[in-house]
Amino acid sequence: MRSDMITQGLERTPHRALLKGAGVPQSEMEKPFIGIATSFTDLIPGHVGMRDLERFIEKGVHTGGGYSFFFGIPGVCDGIAMGHKGMHYSLPTRELIADMVESVAEAHRLDGLVLLTNCDKITPGMLMAAARLNIPSIVVTAGPMLSGRGFDGRRYSFVTDTFEAMARYKAGVIDGKELQACEDNACPGVGSCQGLFTANTMAILTETLGMSLPRCGTALAVSALKRRIAFASGEKIVDLVRNQVTPRQILTREAFENAIRVDLALGGSSNTVLHMLAIAREAGVDLPLETFDILSRETPQLASMNPAGGHFMEDLDVAGGVLGVLKQLGEKVKDSQTVMGLSTLQLVSGIDKVDESVIHPLDKPVKKEGGIAVLFGNLAPKGAVVKQSGVSEKMMQFTGTARCFNSEEEAMAALMEGGIVSGNVVVIRYEGPKGGPGMREILAPTAALMGLGLGDSVALITDGRFSGGTRGPCIGHISPEAMEGGPIALVEEGDQIVLDIPNRKLELLVDEGTLEQRLSAWQRPEPKIKSGWLSRYAKVVTSAYTGAITTGD
């Protein structure tokens, strides 16, 4: 075992002394050393319940015959970080998390890892570490939050009943009493936000990839089932160590294609594009951005999930969960290995019934194509991403007049002051991986568009990204980004922009000669952040179409 390097032999006497100083008995030195990377924090609703799950993972590890060690991993709540300087740090923490897990596991020669996670960048960061280390690993996602409930029976969710409610209040659609009810009921307790936002999408994809046990991706944070999954995961990691089942045996091209298809079938967060590209790179799997669009053309959307639809995670879980979606996808699913020990198709074969009012059959889809589309054109030579599951039919093809803003704050001010009108295309630039830096989520402006009733008459494009809660004609990840001199930097007020999602086009109606003149006159602006680790991050982070990864190049 890897841990023999710190527990066995005369020359390891000092190492054993330190382990005994930490309370490890001599009798445990022969057992697999299992690291439990926990992202518990009091700051994030999705993580405040992890102390309970830690206990059950620990019980499982010791029941399985291993010895466990907790170590902490930081987490950022995107909702709390939204709309101010804090959001610059969100995506970059994915890289920190991967590096921290790698550092602890390698420095202490851990034999295996249980990765306890839940929200946005934390889950993909841990998966990146697992793929990079390639030591036996299993992921436990802490589970989604229950929907909020009002006295009138209404169900509340975080994004639509806070961010969009702000704009509805501003427009006079709701009064202060209703706004307060939204604030009080949107987040009733522990767990990741209730709809198919980034956290829950990544939990589902983690299970689909085969890195979590069945039902882990959808079992509620408040459920006894989640405790049992945590215990079983602790037991299972010891088995994985003994049989040397490693992440790269599980994270194959077939597994990634299955995960992308499930994402497309559910209409999940567009952030998963960034994360799946980054995880695949760590796993040594070739996964070009175009793969998402190729699969989207042939994978129909089978569910209508909040925020674009009416179903919550609790509905998906009882309808059949991840395995229910895979069962409905039928022959489109490829066989792959899982941490459970059974293959994907073996697990699916055990599903008898699926609630087809939530997860539709292939021949009766919600939409004929998957939830994500990849656009190209002279505005996005390296690609752009749109969550087409959240776009109305009216806005699938649209031509509008550019309104240009060099930050999210500028665009938000114009929106709230009535400066954006029907027929506009809001251009928000210098918010990419380098330009942000950190590729902030542009949730507040997109929620304002919907709340102000402009979702069917105004489009938004950005080199930044969106919350999983975003809906409407919002195109992100535009590559190359403005800070690299990409065409989005050259758009001027009044230019005409064509959005054509069915034909996968994003075009600026300006001739090539004029664009060349604008580029020759363009000057790269000063970095928005010039100190701290974000200034270093901006120098090494790559474009969105590669997954916004950091390299040493």
What are the φ/ψ torsions at residue 149 (nearest 5 degrees)?
A: -130, 135
Q: Identify which of 479, 453, 485 has the alpha carbon closest to the alpha carbon of residue 465.
A: 479
Q: Using 50, 70 and 90 to split pLDDT, how confident is the model at 552?
A: low
pLDDT of 8 reads: 95
Q: What is the pLDDT of residues 81-96, one digit of tens each?
A: 988 899 999 999 999 9
Could you tell me if 309 and 267 are in contact, meaning their C-beta atoms sit under 8 angstroms apart?
A: yes
CA 256 vs. chain centroid, Å, equals 15
Average pLDDT in the 339-363 region? 97
Could you tell me if 13 and 22 are in contact, meaning their C-beta atoms sit under 8 angstroms apart?
A: no
Tokens standing for 57? 């993972």
Tokens standing for 8? 């066995």
Could you tell me if 150 and 186 are in contact, meaning their C-beta atoms sit under 8 angstroms apart?
A: no
Average pLDDT in the 309-324 region? 96
Could you tell me if 301 and 264 are in contact, meaning their C-beta atoms sit under 8 angstroms apart?
A: yes
Q: What is the pLDDT of residues 25-67, one digit of tens each?
A: 999 999 999 999 999 999 999 999 999 999 999 999 999 999 9
Task: Please check the confidence at residue 321 and state whether its pLDDT lies above 90.
Answer: yes
Torsion of CA 161, 166, 168, 171, to 10 degrees: 180
Tokens standing for 258? 């299955």
Q: Identify which of 261, 503, 216 has the alpha carbon closest to the alpha carbon of residue 365.
A: 261
Q: Identify which of 245, 257, 326 has the alpha carbon closest to the alpha carbon of residue 286.
A: 257
Q: What is the pLDDT of residues 426-477, one digit of tens each?
A: 999 999 999 999 999 988 898 889 888 999 999 999 999 998 778 889 999 9
Annotation says 392 is catalytic: no
Q: When comparing pLDDT for 106 and 447, which is higher?
A: 106
Residues making up the chain, counted from first to last: 553
CA distance 365 to 367: 5
Residue type, 260: I
- What's the mean per-residue pLDDT of the chain? 95
What are the φ/ψ torsions at residue 415 (nearest 5 degrees)?
A: -60, -50
Which regions of 43-154 does DSSP assign to beta strands (E)? 67-72, 112-117, 137-141, 148-149
Q: Is the pTM of this model over 0.85?
A: yes
Beta strand 112-117 pairing with 137-141 = parallel
User: Could you say which of 467, 520, 535, 543 is catalytic?
Assistant: 467
CA distance 46 to 527: 33
Q: When comparing pLDDT for 469 and 134, which is higher?
A: 134
Q: Provide CB contacts within 8 A for 507, sequence distance 6+.
A: 377, 378, 379, 497, 498, 500
Q: Using 50, 70 and 90 to split pLDDT, how confident is the model at 553?
A: low
pLDDT of 308 reads: 84
- Domains (range + CATH), the chain: 1-30 (no CATH), 31-146+189-349 (3.40.50.2300), 154-182 (no CATH), 373-546 (3.50.30.80)
